[in-house]
Amino acid sequence: MPKFFIKTYGCQMNERDSEQVAHSLIARGYERVAHETEADVVLLNTCSVRDMADQKALGKMGMLGRMAKERPHVVFGFLGCMAQARGAFLLKNLPHVDLVVGTQKFHRVADYVEELVGKKSSKSRPHSAAHRAIDDLRFSIVDVADEPGSQSTIRDQHLAPNQATAFVSIMQGCNMHCTFCIVPQTRGVERSRSIDEIVREVRDLVAHGVKEVTLLGQIVNLYGRHEFPKRDGKSPFVQLLEAVNQIEGLERLRFTSPHPIGFRDDLIDAIARLPKVAEHIHLPLQSGSNRILKAMRRAYTAEKYVDLVRRIRHAREGIAITTDIIVGFPGETEEDYKQTRNLVDELQFDNAFVFRYSPRRHTPAAEMPDQIDEHIKEGRNQDLLQVVNESTRRCGERLVGRVAQVLCEGPSKTNPTRLMGRTRTNKIVVFEGNEKLIGEIVDVHVQRANGFSLYGTPLLKDPDTFQVASTGRRVENSPAVRRDESAVPHVHRQ
């Protein structure tokens, strides 16, 4: 049985794309393995949002060159955004690469892999239009062409046993053209799947034990705006949220990443009234300076962003808000950065991803004057992280002594003898218990906060699930605890 390995770089959408590829290969009899040294097929699903992601993938594939010499039968491939952006150019300095597949062709990867495995074993030459012959003994497949209707191919994924959460891609592409972003070039224009198709996928996931789904899109809350009409004053995205919210057996519904301009009254109302929508919104800010926001083409001001955060927090009590911020954008002065820092301190995000601006080829920002020195970017990055970390610490400490509803996802990555899960506000909680809890929603008494994680004790009725497999120690209930109202369904009526 052939074996395959996939390494994924970048966002949740890339993770979802990798699962689609894994599903298609497993359906053909391939076995997924945890390390490239065990594989007959090695695939890197790439990201191009930042230069570091590009360099990591290129460096990894370069290191695999030695493996290619020792095991010439192995198929090596690039998938995803960097593959889309660079195409056949990736073959120039990496002669062992056999496959380059862009963002609209994930559903064709299994076909190409099978052909390459067969061709490598027979050393015969390819024949289709998507193929590029290199010499008599080596060949490659490059397919980065557009494919109309590719959004409808995002439907298959491989679920692990007891998998509690899943990503569901609802659209492809982006029409926003922020000056720093390469995504419109790598993912194409906005294309959305139908509500019925998405609902069928979520129902199937729930039937297989999934309790939480995250709807994915480059600008997720602009879903369907070109394909589907508004109904009763509700955008297609709100119609989708309502339809998924009605699915029996689904416990939690998330979405990412939205754009501030897509938050109309109907969406804020949906957040307030739909009980399965989790109390967590990831709302990219990017900058607190109106001058920089304009240069980024973000189409909102800092004042409008602050007002939006206020309205979201008013709509749903205890809701968590996280964000993305870029420091060191071309032309960003100390005053611009100070405005960003002050705004982040004012809004007290539950967490934030802070990035140093990274020039991307063929984007307007890469050609702008007044590019910022790397040491200035790094200084601003570290300074802002201190503000964010302090805010995150305070958010975590407020939950100590409370009870949170935690969806157990499996063993903790840092300590496999413990379990981990997330609250409805997307806080990571680590606790002790046996594997019977995986995939279940558990009340956990939060006892301490440490950085980005919380630690607690599960409150369980079944004595068998108190048993800790690694130590045999029994965990006792804790009296006099307060329930975390931000971690359970709550609707604030206006």
pLDDT 10s digits, 258-276: 999 999 999 999 999 999 9
- Full strand arrangement of the beta sheet holding 31-32: 31-32, 3-8, 41-46, 75-80, 99-101, 139-143, 131-133
Would the pLDDT of 491 be above 50? Answer: no
Do the Cβ atoms of 57 and 104 come closer than 8 Å?
no
pLDDT of residue 250: 98
257 upstream amide cis, omega within 30 of 0: yes
482 pLDDT band (50/70/90 cuts)? Answer: very low
Q: What's the token pair of residue 263?
A: 């938050």
393 pLDDT band (50/70/90 cuts)? Answer: very high
Could you give the CA distance from residue 213 to residue 164 in angstroms, rounded to a whole number? Answer: 9
List beta partners, residue 77: 43, 99
Alpha helical stretches, state H, 165-235: 183-187, 195-207
Residue listed under structure tokens 């480059």? 218
Report the pLDDT averaged over residues 305-328: 98
Kindly state the percentage of the chain with pLDDT values over 90.
78
Could you give the CA distance from residue 46 to residue 189 in angstroms, rounded to a whole number? Answer: 19
Class of 3-143 per CATH? alpha beta
Sign of CA dihedral 113, 118, 122, 126: negative
Report the pLDDT averaged over residues 218-242: 96
Would the pLDDT of 295 be above 60? Answer: yes
Task: Please give the CATH superfamily to which domain 150-397 belongs.
Answer: tm_1862 like domain (3.80.30.20)
**Domain parsing of the chain, residue ranges:** 3-143, 150-397, 402-487
Could you give the CA distance from residue 90 to residue 82 in angstroms, rounded to a whole number? Answer: 9
pLDDT of residue 147: 82
10 pLDDT band (50/70/90 cuts)? Answer: confident
Kindly state the percentage of the chain with pLDDT values over 70.
90
Tell me the pLDDT of the chain averaged across its residues: 89
**CA torsion angle 197 201 202 208 (round to 10):** 160
Do the Cβ atoms of 389 and 449 come closer than 8 Å?
no
Which of 277 and 125 is assigned the larger pLDDT? 277
pLDDT of residue 474: 30
**Residue 286, exposed/middle/buried by CB under 10 A (0-12, 13-18, 19+)?**
buried
Q: Which residues contact 255 (CB under 8 A, 6 or more apart)?
A: 214, 215, 216, 217, 220, 221, 241
Per-residue pLDDT tens over the stretch 23-73: 999 999 999 999 999 999 999 999 988 888 889 999 999 999 999 999 999
Residue 169: which of 218, 228, 205, 210 has the closest Cα? 218
Helix 236-245 to helix 195-207 angle, to the nearest 10 degrees?
A: 30
Q: What's the token pair of residue 332?
A: 């960003």
Could you give the CA distance from residue 47 to residue 87 in angstroms, rounded to a whole number? Answer: 13
Residue 366 is classified by DSSP as: G
Report the pLDDT averaged over residues 103-125: 85
Could you give the CA distance from residue 3 to residue 23 in angstroms, rounded to a whole number? Answer: 13
Per-residue pLDDT tens over the stretch 73-101: 999 999 999 999 999 999 988 999 999 99
229 pLDDT band (50/70/90 cuts)? Answer: very high
Class of 402-487 per CATH? mainly beta
pLDDT of residue 464: 59
